[in-house]
Structure 1
Amino acid sequence: MEHFDKKAIDARVAAGFPLTDRWHNRFHLEMPFGLINDPNGLTYADGEYHIFYQWNPLGCEHKNKCWAHVRTRDFVHYSLPELSLWPSDEHDKDGCYSGCGFTEKGRVHVFYTCNAKNDGIRTPAQRFGTLQEDGSVEKGVIAVPDSPAGITGHFRDPYLFHRHGKRYFVIGAQADEQEPRGTVLIYEETKEGWKNLGELKTRLGHFGYMWECPNLLHFGAYDALIFCPQGLEAREFDRQNIYQAGYIAGHLSLDSLDMMQHSKFQELDHGFDFYAPQVFQHEGRHILLGWMGMPDKDDEYPTREKGWMFSLTLPRVLSLRQGHIYSRPARELKALRIEETAIDIDMDMEQNLTEQLFDGTEALLDLTLGKAQHISLTLAYGLETTVFSYDRTTQVMTIDRTGMKHGGRGVRRFKLFVDRMLSLQLFVDRTAVEAFFQHGEEVASMLVFPEKNIRPELRIHADAPLESVTGRLWELDSFHFTR
């Protein structure tokens, strides 16, 4: 088991800020070194949001899993990241895996999966911990010592929720069958401890070999189960990443353990780089953070050679309408906008438009299509391009980054209904790009690694004059980190 020196690691992180490499993002959470992945432990306490996330401070491999921690009051100003939870005993010696956070009597607590392997056998234990004044997590009781009968060692990522005055958690799992099957289990807190109620029943059948990172959300009279199934085959307009992150919406019955009248599985994000989201609720908002990255695709991320990998998404606020989750950027992010340099766009009957973007840009655009049937929006980094193109006849949005030299490439396609107007909100950081379509009906997150250190151009082209293009481009400030 590696030795983790919190003081030395925190000092090295502090020395790495501000981030200076041209591929480092300005308004996405990143680390100066090491590999980050799943957001964890999201909660709110005493005026501050607490964000934890998986981190290997010792290298760019998926091992030595620790948790880093930051605090923010407004999603713009942050504490410097610090090492908070790390492997230290027989239970979590092979990694502090994902879990959730909660606040009780003003104290921040976490609930996570301990990973230990002995003679090739994995023992996953679920454990509570409490955040201390120095930023470390004091480890507490083991609530569930191992996976239950009928479930393999792939048993992880607990997520707490409350119903009828009781506390429960959902947890990702793999059923131990001839052909392993992904599933989610529900546990109930009792006076005797945590009781396994069994599998959550759905109509999905055999739907991949493992379900990771479940979140159970409550939207008024409806429930949504977010989870990450592994082992689904790609289809023409969805499931095109190696692993998916999506949801079903319906009505949870804790009596029958059934997600009743649920929707089909829908993806939360159609981009190349989105996985392992976590959602927490505060003041009526469901706030999501996701990992901008993808497991088992490490060769698609050239920053590995520079000693760091991956980002977190911007915070998104979720709402459920007619069985579909909409995602919008958190309103606090408007504080990043620099009004003095904003560019207003107001054009009629134009087929082509080119605008130079800033070092970090938010674009809010409404394209009234008129007779145009094919519309493309290109991020051009000199000769390199990432292209969003929409075909009205097929109602398909295509994202194509084969025009980039470095990093992952490829194409993603998804259905998007547009009547008269295509609405787009685009956040373009140095490598992170997040696109919100039709006021958050669909979202796509991706990382691009331009060869040249130049500001991109936004080029809009249509096959007939667009009736109008209106909107605004803002230069965005960087996140502020305080020591």
Structure 2
Amino acid sequence: MEHFDKKAIDSKVAAGLPFTDRWHNRFHLEMPFGLINDPNGLTYADGEYHIFFQWNPLGCEHKNKCWAHVRTRDFVHYSLPELSLWPSDEHDKDGCYSGCGFAEKGKVRVFYTCNAKNDGVRTPAQRLGTLQEDGSVRKDEIVIPDSPEGITGHFRDPYLFHRHGRRYFVIGAQADGEKPRGTVLIYKEGKDGWQNLGELHTRLGDFGYMWECPNMLHFGSYDALIFCPQGLEAREFDRQNLYQAGYIAGHLSLDSMDMMQHTKFQELDHGFDFYASQVFQHEGRHILLGWMGMPDRDDEYPTREKGWMYSLTMPRVLTLRQGHIFSRPAAELKALRIEDTALDIDSDMEDKLSTRLFDGSEVLMDITLGKAKKVELTLVYGLEKTVFSYDHTTQVMTIDRTGMKNGGRGVRRFKMFVDRVLSLQLFVDRAAVEAFFQHGEEAASFLVFPEKNIRPELRVTADAPLETVTGRVWELDSFRFNP
């Protein structure tokens, strides 16, 4: 087991801020060194949001899993990131895996999976912890010492939720058998501890070999199970990443352990780099953070050679409408806009529109298609490019990254209905791009690593005159880290 010196690691993080490398993002949470992944322990307590996330401070490999921690009141100003939870005993010696957070009696508590391997056998234990004044997490009692019968050692990522005044948690799992099968289990809190209610039944059938990072959300009279299935075959218009992040919406019956009348599985994000999202609730908002990365694809991220990897998404607010989750950037992010440099787009576009973006930009655009059947929005980085193209005839959006030289490339396609107006909200950071289409009906997140250190240009072209193009481009400020 590695030795983790919190004081030394925290000092090294502070020395690495603010970022100077041209691929480090300005308004996405990142670390100056090491590999980050799943957001964890998202909690609101005493006027502050607490964001934890997986972090290997010792290198760019998926091992030495610790938790980092930041606090923010507004998703713009953050405390300095710090090491908060790290492998230290027989239960979590092989990693502090993902989990959730909650506020209790004025304290921030966490509930996470301990990972220990002995003679090739994995023992996953679920443990509580409490955030201390110095930013570290005190490890408290183990509440579930191992995976239950019929479930392999792949049993992780507990997520607490409330129903009918009682506490429950949903947890990702793999059912044992000749062919391992992804599933989730639900536990109920009682006087004598936590009772395993068994598997949650769905109509999905054989749906991958492992389900990770489940969240159980409540929208009015509807429930949504968010989870990350591994082992699905790619299809023409969905499931095109190695692993997926999505949801089913319906009605949770804890009596029959059924997700009743649920929708088909739908993805939360159609980009190349989105996984392991977590949602927390505050003042009626469901706020999501995701990991901008993909497991088992580390070679697609050239920052590894610079000693750091991956980002978190910006916070998004989720709403459920007619069985579909819409996601919009949290309203607090408007505070990043620098109004005096904003550019208005107002064009009866005959041919093409081109606008130079900033080091960090937000683009809000409505394109009234008119006679055009195909429209392309291209992010141009000198001789490199990433293209969003929409075909109104087939109702297909395509994101094409093959015009980039560094990092992951490829194409993603998904169905998206547009009547007359294609609406787009685009956030372009130094390496991270997040796009929201049709007022949040669909989203796409991905990373690009331009070869040249130049500000991108946004070009809009179409196969026939567009009726109108209206919108605004803002320069965005950076996140602020305050000691």
Q: Shorter-normalised TM-score: what interval?
A: over 0.9
Aligned residue type for 1:82: E
Q: Does 2:463 correspond to 1:472?
A: no
Q: CA deviation at 1:232?
A: 0.1
2:272: which partner in 1?
A: 272
Matching residue of 1:297: 297
Q: Which residue matches 1:187?
A: 187
Aligned residue identity for 2:424: L
Q: What's 2:83 paired with?
A: 83
**TM-score normalised by length of structure 1:** 1.00
Aligned to 1:49: 49
Check whether the contact 1:400–1:412 (CA below 8 A) recurs between aligned residues. yes
2:351 match: secondary structure: strand
Distance 1:163 1:414 in 2: 35
| d(CA) in 2 for partners of 1:124, 1:393 | 50
Question: What is the distance in 1 between the residues matched to 2:415 and 2:314?
Answer: 23
Task: Summarize the alignment of residues 124-143 of structure 1 with structure 2, pairs less than 5 Å apart.
Answer: 124-143=124-143
Shift of 1:450: 0.1
Partner in structure 1 of residue 419 of structure 2: 419
- For residue 349 of structure 1, report the CA deviation from its aligned partner: 3.5
Distance 1:474 1:75 in 2: 18
CA distance in 2, matches of 1:259, 1:348: 49
Select between 420-429 and 348-357 the one with higher mean Cα deviation. Answer: 348-357
* Counterpart position of 1:342: 342
Partner of 1:246: 246
Measured after TM superposition, the shift of residue 177 of structure 1 is 1.0
Does residue 224 (structure 1) correspond to residue 224 (structure 2)? The answer is yes
- Distance in 1 between residues matched to 2:375 and 2:391, nearest whole Å: 7
**What TM-score comes out, normalization by structure 2 length?**
1.00
CA distance in 2, matches of 1:48, 1:105: 15
C-alpha distance in structure 2 between counterparts of 1:105 and 1:425, whole Å: 40
**2:116 is matched with which residue?**
116
Specify the code of the residue in structure 2 equivalent to 1:10.
Answer: D
Distance 1:454 1:416 in 2: 32
Gaps in structure 2 of 5+ consecutive residues = none
Deviations 1:89-117 (A, max 9, x none): 00000000000000011110000000000
* Superposed displacement of residue 222, structure 1: 0.1
SS of the residue aligned with 1:290? strand
CA distance in 1, matches of 2:410, 2:254: 42
Looking at structure 1, the residues matched to 14 and 84 of structure 2 have their Cα atoms a distance apart, in angstroms, of 14
TM-superposition CA deviations, 1:288-345 (whole Å, max 9, x none): 0000000000000000000000000000000000000000000000000000000001
| Partners of 1:83 and 1:379 in 2: CA distance | 36
Secondary structure of the residue aligned to 1:243 is coil
Contact between 1:76 and 1:479, CA under 8 Å: does it hold in 2? yes
Aligned match of 1:381: 381
Please give the secondary structure, in 2, of the residue aligned with 1:328: strand
Q: Does 1:353 align with 2:353?
A: yes
Q: What is aligned with 1:73? A: 73
CA distance in structure 2 between the partners assigned to 1:350 and 1:92 by the alignment: 62
Partners of 1:256 and 1:150 lie apart in 2 by: 19
Q: For residue 146 of structure 2, what is the amino acid of its counterpart?
A: D
Letter of the aligned partner of 2:183 in structure 1? T
Provide, for residues 225-252 of structure 1, a one-character-per-residue CA deviation record: whole Å limited to 9, x for no partner.
0000000000000000000000000000
Report if the CA contact (8 A) 1:350-1:468 is conserved: no
- Structure 1 position 442, deviation (Å): 0.2
Partner of 1:333: helix, strand, or coil?
helix
**Alignment-derived partner of residue 154 in structure 1:** 154
Q: Please give the per-residue CA displacement for 1:23-56, whole angstroms capped at 9, x wherever unaligned.
A: 0000000000000000000000111000000000
Shift of residue 452 of structure 1? Answer: 0.1
Equivalents in 2 of 1:315, 1:196: separation in Å?
32
Any idea what SS the aligned residue of 2:7 has? helix
Query: Is the partner of 1:402 in helix, strand or coil?
Result: coil
Deviation at 1:351, TM superposition (A): 2.6
Q: 2:94 & 2:70 partners in 1: Cα distance?
A: 23
| Secondary structure in structure 2 of the residue aligned to 1:464 | coil
CA distance in 2, matches of 1:345, 1:432: 23
CA distance in 1, matches of 2:330, 2:143: 34
Report what 2:329 is aligned to.
Answer: 329
Structure 1 Cα separation of the partners of residues 398 and 24 of structure 2 = 26
TM-superposed CA distance for 1:183, in Å, is 0.1
Does the alignment pair 1:444 with 2:444? Answer: yes
Q: Provide the residue aligned with 1:104 in structure 2.
A: 104
| Aligned-partner Cα distance in 1 for 2:233–2:178 | 19
> What secondary structure sits across from 2:183 in the alignment?
strand
Describe the SS at the equivalent of 1:461: strand
SS of 1:466's partner is coil
Q: Secondary structure at the match of 2:113?
A: strand
Q: Check whether the contact 1:233–1:239 (CA below 8 A) recurs between aligned residues.
A: yes
CA distance in 2, matches of 1:171, 1:476: 38
In structure 1, runs of 5+ residues without a counterpart are none
Shift of 1:350: 2.5
Aligned partners of 1:372 and 1:94: how far apart in 2? 56
Runs of 4+ with >3 A deviation: none
Partners of 1:188 and 1:71 lie apart in 2 by 30
1:455, 1:18 → 2: CA distance? 20
- Identity, in percent, stands at 86
What amino acid does structure 1 have at the position aligned with 2:221? A
CA distance in 1, matches of 2:440, 2:21: 31
> What amino acid maps onto 1:232 in structure 2?
L
Q: Which amino acid aligns with 2:260?
A: M
3-state SS of paired residue (1:380): strand
Aligned to 1:350, the other structure's residue is in SS state: coil
The residue matched to 2:466 in structure 1 has which SS? strand
Distance, in Å, in 1 between the alignment partners of 2:256 and 2:234 is 32
Distance (Å, rounded) in 2 between the aligned partners of 1:309 and 1:336:
24
Which residue does 2:213 correspond to in 1?
Answer: 213
Taking the aligned partners of 1:274 and 1:147, their CA distance within structure 2 comes to 28
